[in-house]
A and B are shown apart, each in its own frame.
Chain A
Amino acid sequence: SAVISQKPSRDICQRGTSLTIQCQVDSQVTMMFWYRQQPGQSLTLIATANQGSEATYESGFVIDKFPISRPNLTFSTLTVSNMSPEDSSIYLCSVDALASGFYNEQFFGPGTRLTVL
């Protein structure tokens, strides 16, 4: 299994500023994922973060707006740049890790609740 922590748990930011969200895992994992969950909506995958290479972004998300770092196998950051109220969401990181038994499952962090004024 994998235990994931995120910092900050919540923040209120002014438009035009940037916020960096940290994701820490208690074990080494190859792939980490960043999701966005807008109010009342389902989760949308932003990007996949691989250690040692550029993140892979999903359609509709760009590196200039959501730069991602992955300096090692247990840590990643997501920056939300030049924020606007439309960026108000919960941002979640997740990892694919070995669960009990012989299969992988995806584990999620508690999320970072961002409000942009």
Chain B
Amino acid sequence: DAKTTQPPSMDCAEGRAANLPCNHSTISGNEYVYWYRQIHSQGPQYIIHGLKNNETNEMASLIITEDRKSSTLILPHATLRDTAVYYCIVRVRGYNKLIFGAGTRLAVHP
């Protein structure tokens, strides 16, 4: 699986958009970008995934660059409940293992 690089921490004001970057310069053609988050003392939760097109669901948007070497997770209107560690993971779809990196600790403040 390709390695990912994320900033260790970020801050965001409540109600503003949170943009979490992820570098995955060694991603291969059959690898997808997945995002999970872990709220304190809970198991990780799936957010979104994509291959090369931008994706949006009820939780977030995923923007993948054209060369697929980086991506950005966007929480359009961050709330205090979005405070969590966000993990960007690259893996082959259908390949079940998830390999977690260090993630980004997002703090949403009033």
Contact = CB atoms under 8 A, between A and B. Distances in A.
B101 to A, nearest CB: 6
A43 B97 contact: no
B43 A111 contact: yes
A110 B101 contact: no
B46 A92 contact: no
B103 to A, nearest CB: 6
A48 B97 contact: yes
B53 interface: no
Interface residues of B, number: 21
Interface stretch (A60-68, A72-80, A100-108): A100-108
Interface of B: 36, 38, 41-46, 49, 85, 87, 93-94, 96-103
B96 A108 contact: no
A109 B100 contact: no
Counting chain A residues whose Cβ lies within 8 A of the other chain, the interface size class is 20 to 34
A106 B96 contact: yes
B97 A103 contact: no
B97 A108 contact: no
Contact of B96 (A33, A35, A43, A103): A33
Contact of A48 (B44, B96, B102): B96
A96 interface: yes
